[in-house]
Structure 1
Amino acid sequence: MEKPLPLFRSLRHARQYICPQCLRSTPRRPSPFKLLRPQRRHASTQPADDPAFKSILDKPPVLMRSGRKHKPLGLAILAAIPITAFILGCWQVKRLGWKSELIAKFEDRLVRDPLPLPPQIDPEAVKDFDYRRVVARGRYRHDKEMLIGPRIHDGNDGFLVITPLERVDDSGRNAAVLVCRGWIPKAKAKQSERPLALPTGEVQVEGLLREPWVKNYFTPDNKPENDTWHFPDVAQMAEHVGSQAVWIEETMKPNLIESYRREEAGIPIGRPAEVNLRNNHVQYIFTWFSLSAATAVMMWMVVRKPPGGRGFGVPGRVRESREW
């Protein structure tokens, strides 16, 4: 029977034994030179290592004069802001009165009975009958139809349908006018897609007599030779189809179900008989007067506060550190 080894001898031998597989999987510790190399590289880029480096303490502050009065030009520019804003606010008050009277005049015309449209109309007199309800009878010339677009209606892309209404006066002269029938979706642009929207025979049109619009700078030009229209240029469109320079917007009673039915069939959706002029002058008045009051208070604070100050016990002088 073998004699067991002493306990301390077995522990000593156990500590000396290292598994070869564990020895291969144990990561090696990097050498001290590799650990110190990044630190040395980082330390070499410190600004203090540069012999020509100068800190803030190496550049003492310089005494400079203060307490100078405000320059007249700066005060004039600062005073021009509240004065200009106040003038613009007063101008918006005037515009509000003008726009309110204009809307009231147009709404008064809407409540009157429709006026039969005379055969011959002076284009210069249309501005005196703007938003006047009129009634006209004639035949639609669908072969001369024009589409203005793109136009958005309830988030959908489409066109405005402009069709000449052919009329003849008692002397046999041409009395045709332009009728804006309403909006159609883009998918119904071709006449073959909307046969129900092309009435034949004599029709009666009730709508609003409108004054020609003024084209803005960002709207592209129309191209009549390509039958491309971006803006309702009444004179240009009338010359293109050979009618009077008279624009009528066909109206209809607002009806959601009827609008869906017309959109599905491609029948133009007319506009409601109401004044659609924007009147945001109250917001503009509040904006300009608020800006005028705020800038006036700022100017008062600048003028009231003495220019400059006293620093470090030196009257009329302050310390300034340059080239930080």
Structure 2
Amino acid sequence: MERLRLRPRLTTQTVPKRTLTTLRPSCRPRTPSLRLRNQNRHQTQPVDDPAFKSIVDNPPQLIRSGRKHNYFGLTILGLIPVTAFILGCWQIQRLTWKSDLIARFEDRLVKDPLPLPPQIDLSMIKEFDYRRIYARGVWRHDQEMLIGPRLHDGEDGYLVVTPLDRKDEFRGFEGNSTVLVNRGWINKAHAPQHTRPDSLPTGPVVVEGLLREPWIKNSFTPDNKPEDGAWYFPDVKQMAEHAGSQAVWVEETMRPDYVTVLKRTEKGVPVGRAAEVNLRNNHTQYIFTWFSLSLATGVMMWMVVKRPSSGGRASGRIRRNTGW
């Protein structure tokens, strides 16, 4: 009976694990190569950094939304459109004043030139500003003064101011009849008198020009140095004391002809100004700027006030993380 014992049937369940691996090599687990394992071993992870912080390390803070408006900021924001509107209205008044002033000066330009008297009342010069005049006399080139630097068409140069002695024209007059005449512009190369002999006439001359008010010096212009012959600003009173003349400023005029200006520039003859009003009138641009600023800031003020400060869904307590 023992010889007839049957041998158990082999099934897949009883096959050893190494036998299955041998039969199905495609199911063998893939392991990373030695090179990749060495690279991963030397790479640092963010958690390895001692300064690394996660979201757990930065808990959110409870803040309150829908705070009330800052009344100080609203006051400042409200003053801007009001101030800009006031400045715009002020520029309208300035535009009216400047337009009337230019019209008055232009009316004086169309009148016939007046002979300049020997003695001029300085208090009345304002009433004759931009008035066309003519005067006879002799140039005092030994007392010439150069004001500069001054630019003309992008070229550096000077304004030539020469006293006009009129004692021969008014013989018997015991007072001072000399006046200061701004003859015009010369380039820097002709500043020395020996380089421009054509600009130094010695006989009697007739000067036509505009009677002008004394200039007002601003704080950015340096002071003149008469002892060094350095003049940066046409200080009429100071220049009159230096030259021994009346504090009267006359600007010589000429016809604005391009060919004439070119010839004068080449010879060093002063280029006079045109008989026209050269006052700037930019008040229209200022009006547009101030009113635009007033409108823009007014809209900003309305948007800030319109936004609710509390109540509704916007109010309450929310979480905000400030550590990122």
Q: What TM-score do you get using the length of structure 2 for normalisation?
A: 0.84
Partner of 2:21: none
8 Å contact from structure 1 (residues 188, 194) kept in 2: yes
What is the CA-CA distance between 1:317 and the residue it aligns to?
2.2
Calculate the aligned-residue CA RMSD, in Å.
2.1
Query: What percentage of residue pairs aligned between the two structures are identical?
Result: 66
Partner of 2:52: 53
Partner of 2:289: 287
* Structure 2 spans left out of the alignment, 5+ residues: 1-34
What is the CA-CA distance between 1:94 and the residue it aligns to?
0.8
Q: Tell me how far apart the structure 1 counterparts of residues 147 and 251 of structure 2 sit (CA, whole Å).
A: 14
What is the CA-CA distance between 1:308 and the residue it aligns to?
5.7
Q: Secondary structure at the match of 2:299?
A: helix
State the AA in 2 paired with 1:190: P
Partner of 2:80: 81
The range that moved more, 203-212 or 53-62, is 53-62
What is the CA-CA distance between 1:53 and the residue it aligns to?
2.9
Partner of 1:161: 160
Instruction: Please tell me whether residue 323 in structure 1 is matched to residue 323 in structure 2.
Output: yes
What is the CA-CA distance between 1:71 and the residue it aligns to?
2.4
What is the CA-CA distance between 1:146 and the residue it aligns to?
0.4
Q: Secondary structure at the match of 1:164?
A: strand
- 1:53-109 superposed Cα distances (whole Å, 9 cap, x missing partner): 322343232222222221221210110111111111111111101100110010000
What is the CA-CA distance between 1:309 and the residue it aligns to?
7.4
8 Å contact from structure 1 (residues 309, 317) kept in 2: no
Partner of 1:275: 277
Q: Tell me how far apart the structure 1 counterparts of residues 315 and 144 of structure 2 sit (CA, whole Å).
A: 84
Partner of 1:233: 235
> Pick from 226, 230, 240: which aligns with 1:224?
226
Instruction: Please tell me whether residue 66 in structure 1 is matched to residue 68 in structure 2.
Output: no
Q: Secondary structure at the match of 1:124?
A: helix
Q: Secondary structure at the match of 2:77?
A: helix
What is the CA-CA distance between 1:164 and the residue it aligns to?
0.1
Q: Tell me how far apart the structure 2 counterparts of residues 136 and 92 of structure 1 sit (CA, whole Å).
A: 39
- Please show how residues 74-113 of structure 1 align to structure 2 within 5 Å: 74-113=73-112
Q: Secondary structure at the match of 1:181?
A: strand
8 Å contact from structure 2 (residues 88, 287) kept in 1: yes
- 1:296-317 superposed Cα distances (whole Å, 9 cap, x missing partner): 0011001001126766xx9522
8 Å contact from structure 2 (residues 66, 315) kept in 1: no
8 Å contact from structure 1 (residues 234, 245) kept in 2: yes
Q: Secondary structure at the match of 1:112?
A: coil
Q: Tell me how far apart the structure 1 counterparts of residues 256 and 60 of structure 2 sit (CA, whole Å).
A: 77
Q: Tell me how far apart the structure 1 counterparts of residues 232 and 304 of structure 2 sit (CA, whole Å).
A: 52
Sort the Cα spacing of 1:63 and 1:177 in 2 relative to 1 into closer, same or farther, 3 A: same
Sort the Cα spacing of 1:67 and 1:139 in 2 relative to 1 into closer, same or farther, 3 A: same
Partner of 1:124: 123
Sort the Cα spacing of 1:51 and 1:174 in 2 relative to 1 into closer, same or farther, 3 A: closer
Structure with greater Cα Rg: 2
Q: What TM-score do you get using the length of structure 1 for normalisation?
A: 0.84
* Structure 1 spans left out of the alignment, 5+ residues: 1-31
State the AA in 1 paired with 2:123: E
Q: Secondary structure at the match of 1:56?
A: coil
What is the CA-CA distance between 1:125 and the residue it aligns to?
1.5
What is the CA-CA distance between 1:321 and the residue it aligns to?
1.1
Instruction: Please tell me whether residue 193 in structure 1 is matched to residue 192 in structure 2.
Output: no
- 1:150-173 superposed Cα distances (whole Å, 9 cap, x missing partner): 111111111100000001243232
Partner of 1:22: none
- 1:230-255 superposed Cα distances (whole Å, 9 cap, x missing partner): 10000000000100000000000110
What is the CA-CA distance between 1:51 and the residue it aligns to?
4.1
8 Å contact from structure 2 (residues 64, 315) kept in 1: no
